[in-house]
Amino acid sequence: QKEVEQNSGPLSVPEGAIASLNCTYSDRGSQSFFWYRQYSGKSPELIMSIYSNGDKEDGRFTAQLNKASQYVSLLIRDSQPSDSATYLCAVNRGSTLGRLYFGRGTQLTVWP
Amino acid sequence: NAGVMQNPRHLVRRRGQEARLRCSPMKGHSHVYWYRQLPEEGLKFMVYLQKENIIDESGMPKERFSAEFPKEGPSILRIQQVVRGDSAAYFCASSPTYGGTGVRASYEQYFGPGTRLTVT
């Protein structure tokens, strides 16, 4: 079983729609959860972090965490073509600093 | 430039040569992580360092790879006797000093632009 799994994609949505990206993780002791955006040929860019159950909103982005289900998601409202990228889910297993476990990523395309 | 810096951005080495990759963390950050991204694969953790200490090297290949973060200067990832399978993007990330900007902020890792290594 992989540490972090993401829906395989690719995901294609029209401009203005809501894009929904999902991620599950295997370690119940995981404490910290992150979403990164990576444009082709570029480095990952941190866009959201979430640590507690529930929703966290930042602009057009909403992260949702359900520790009981070991599930984290990212919603992108009013999707724009500039949101087209690969979205990486990352998990830190413990409450201490350290390595991140990444999913393979979901490629999102927003078409005009 | 307040971001994580890496150099070189592109590196070409022939099989058997040594590759040396450098990373300077963001200002105020004392934790450095190295990750490798192979074509069509996800990011894989390699090593976690603080100044003069290797904290976790569980992701490092047992041979040919080493990393350091000296008291002065950048962190260095060294690959000796490179092989074609080492061709990948190598990313460095840094995170803040624990508690320096809030406990939770310390967990957030910020990535540099990466070094694309090509072994011919």
CB-based contact, B48 to chain A, within 8 Å: yes
Please tell me the predicted confidence (pLDDT) of residue B104: 60
Q: Which residues of A touch B95 (CB under 8 A)?
A: 97
User: What mean pLDDT is reported for chain B?
Assistant: 91
CA distance B74 to A85: 30
Please tell me the predicted confidence (pLDDT) of residue A98: 82
All residues at 6 or more sequence positions from A54 whose CB lies less than 8 Å from its CB, including other chains:
A64, A65
Local confidence band at B99 (pLDDT 50, 70, 90 cut-offs): low
Angle, CA B15 vertex, CA B9 and CA B21 arms, to 5°: 30
Q: Which residues of chain A have pLDDT under 50?
A: none
Local confidence band at B100 (pLDDT 50, 70, 90 cut-offs): very low
Q: Which residues of B touch A32 (CB under 8 A)?
A: 104, 107
C-alpha closest to that of A24 among A71, A75, A58: A71
CA distance B100 to B26: 13
Please tell me the predicted confidence (pLDDT) of residue A96: 58
Give me the residue from B56, B98, B108 closest to A99, CB to CB: B56
How confident is the model over B26-66, as pLDDT tens digits?
998 889 999 999 977 789 999 999 999 999 999 999 999 99
Local confidence band at B98 (pLDDT 50, 70, 90 cut-offs): low
- Cα B94 to chain center, whole Å? 9
- Kindly state the percentage of chain B with pLDDT values over 70: 91
Min distance B83 CA to chain A CA atoms (Å)? 22
CA distance A89 to B97: 23
